[in-house]
Amino acid sequence: WNYNIPEHTVDRARSGYESFPDGNKNYVIAQFFPRMCVYNDVEGWQNYQFWGSGEFALPFGDYDVEITVPADHLLDGTGNLVNRKDVYSKEEYKRWEQATKSYDKPVIIRTQAEAENIEKGHSTKTKTWKLQAENVRDFAFTSSRKYIMDAQAVKFPKGDVMAISIYPKEGNPLWEEYSTKAVVQTLESYSRMTFDYPYPKAISVHGKNQGMEYPMICWNYGRPNEDGSYSDRTKFGMISVIIHEVGHNFFPMIVNSDERQWGWMDEGINTFVQYVAEQDFGENYPEAIAPNAKYPSRRGAPSAITGYMGGNQDFIAPIMSNPENVYQLGNNAYGKPATALNILRETVMGRELFDYSFKTYAQRWMFKHPTPEDFFRTMEDASAIDLDWYWRGWFYTTENVDMGVEEVKSYYLTDKPTQAGKALMERYGVDPAGRDLVYVVEEDGEDYDPAMKSKSSLENAPNLQEFLMDNFSAAERAKLKAPKHFYAIKFNKPGGIPMPIIVEYSYADGTKEKVTYPVQVWRMNDAEVTKVLATDKELTGVLLDPDLETADVDVSNNSWPKQAQESEFDSFKEGTED
Ligand SMILES: [Zn+2]
């Protein structure tokens, strides 16, 4: 067969070449040969055609490839380069040997000065590069006489892995500074979250406007201006896309889900681990992210998804949709599932249980073909937590999270029969005569006496004090609490997704207390739930989701007393992402 190589910077494609004014071309070549469909015992043959969005469903195989290119090209691709001595210069080979022992910084294999010299020539001779790969689901390679290359070794228990970057001078100074750092961080963070990276190398290639993954090799954007300057947007975009595309080695290159059908299983899960790796990168290279205190991740933080989830329902599909059939694929298959997993980890399950279960999923399904149910079941099976409600709300519906504080009522105790108390006794046929009872009075209600507010509960209900004296020893009484205030806080839930109620109570003495009510509080009443707070301190404020952990799409109902509303203009802006 043959394959026409597209100019990917002109006709947007997942591989091809980029032309330069002097006639040179950088080639990033992939998806250029017929590949086998997946056959598995769940779906049979996956022979759904490629329509442009859902990329891969591929089985594993071994590759033995020889590629002949002009002799002055630098080439690399999926697999071990088995004739390195034949294709590298003596100096390059020596530097490569040094790189295999350099664990703290990259070693430059071909320098910018050398590449600038080479790109001026035009060799009429050829060289053949030999690559061998085992247990990979695809093969891709890159080739150009313009390339600079650096490499660094990363230690793993079963053997070192080489982190490699390949880029033209147009990528510098950005690429020399950050690419291999980002590759190393990806291998380390992803391996910690899943399994040790099982391939011998991971290459990040600079392709203009590209962000595309293949086994052991990927193409990434991030081009500085012609004078070498670059914005933060370019820098963080480049580091993030490298982490994302190298991360795809884990999902779906190894945990081999079916992207023809389920885009989120690799894009969403990968974007979640990308978020973890980006935050690790920020911790390891504070000078690279300054003046930010944390790495400015574009996706993963709960507050970054509320515009989409709270937006126009006509343009939202469930995560559990085919990637060809959704509006806003970026939010649907990347942002929302990544955020759902981040919230599941930080707020619902906790890191220890989540990480153990997530790792169990990755290890059970490496080099196999998992379905969404395999993911959902393993997360529940490994953690012993019923998460059906979470998968249903976040993955199978287009509902969103919106909880609010509806009202706060304050109560006092009294030994004087109240209207409500008397009515209750009458209803149950109880004769109040001779009964010594304690009643509850709502502040500002019909039986309320303002004097109650300054007294303790036992002063307001002396019969309760007598009861304690008669029935408890002094030592026992010393251990009892006698709260002065009783509050009933009613929470409501306009949003369709149930979530734990995380609430911060503020008191008159200036102290604050954070309380989490588990999601199970919504089991019997999905619309509203009331929690009682018994305390010695006067409650002055209630704030729901104080750290914005739940992706609550409307925070205007999150506080008591009600906070000033944001302007109509602000809420309009929030709802118009596309
Ligand atoms: Zn991706």
Q: Can you give 31-63 as a three-state secondary structure string?
A: CCCCCCCEEECCCEEECCCCCCCCCCCCCCEEE
| Three-state secondary structure call for residue 451 | helix
Q: How far is the CA of 287 from the centre of ligand 1 (A)?
A: 27
Q: What percent of the chain has pLDDT over 70?
A: 97
CA of 453 to the centre of ligand 1 (A): 60
For the record, the structure tokens of 482 come out as 């006698």
Dump the DSSP string for 497-539. Answer: S---EEEEEEETTS-EEEEEE-GGGGSS-SSEEEEEEEESSPE
**Cα 398–chain centre separation:** 18
CA of 417 to the centre of ligand 1 (A): 67
pLDDT at res. 356: 98
Residue 509 CB-density burial (10 A; 0-12 exposed, 13-18 middle, 19+ buried): exposed
pLDDT tier, 551 (very low <50, low <70, confident <90, very high otherwise): very high
pLDDT of residue 578: 36
* pLDDT per position as a tens digit, 504-543: 999 999 999 999 999 999 999 999 999 999 999 999 999 9
- When pLDDT is averaged across residues 298-324 and rounded to a whole number, the result is 96
Position with higher pLDDT, 69 vs 43: 69
Distance 14 CA to ligand 1 centre (A): 12
Q: How far is ligand 1, taken at its centre, from the CA of residue 332, in Å?
A: 13
Q: Could you read off the pLDDT of 239-258 as tens digits, one per residue?
A: 999 999 999 999 999 999 99
pLDDT band for 564, please (50, 70, 90 cuts): low
Give the pLDDT confidence score for residue 181 in this predicted structure. 98
- Per-residue pLDDT, 56: 83
**Helix 174-193 vs helix 263-284: angle between axes, to the nearest 10 degrees?**
110
The CA 6 to ligand 1 mean position distance, Å, reads: 21
State the distance from the centre of ligand 1 to the C-alpha of 266, rounded, in angstroms: 7
Out of 99-113, 114-128, 308-322, 427-441, which region has the weakest mean confidence (pLDDT)? 427-441
Give tens-digit pLDDT for 6-35: 999 998 899 999 999 999 999 999 999 998
Expressed in angstroms and rounded, the spacing between residue 160 Cα and the centre of ligand 1 is 25
pLDDT per residue as tens digits for the range 58-89: 999 999 999 999 999 999 999 999 999 999 99
Q: Nearest to residue 181, comparing CAs of 116, 238, 115?
A: 238
Residue 26: CB atoms within 10 Å = 26
* Averaged pLDDT for residues 369-397: 98
| Per-residue pLDDT, 50 | 87
pLDDT exceeds 70 at position 576: no
- Could you tell me the two tokens for 110? 């071909």
Q: ipTM value, please give it.
A: 0.96
% of the chain beyond a pLDDT of 90:
91
The pLDDT of residue 334 is 97
Task: Give 537 Cα–ligand 1 centroid separation in angstroms.
Answer: 51
**pLDDT on residue 55:** 87
Q: What is the largest CA-CA distance in the chain?
A: 112
Which tokens belong to 415?
């030994």
- Per DSSP, helices labelled H in 328-418 are 329, 336-343, 351-365, 372-383, 388-395
Report d(CA 418, CA 412) in Å as an integer: 12
- Does the pLDDT of residue 128 top 80, yes or no? yes
The CA 264 to ligand 1 mean position distance, Å, reads 9
Model confidence pLDDT, tens digit, residues 157-172: 999 999 999 999 999 9
Q: How far is the CA of 171 from the centre of ligand 1 (A)?
A: 21
Q: How confident is the model at residue 575 (pLDDT cuts 50, 70, 90)?
A: very low
Q: Would you state the structure tokens that stand for residue 491, as one six-digit string?
A: 């929470």
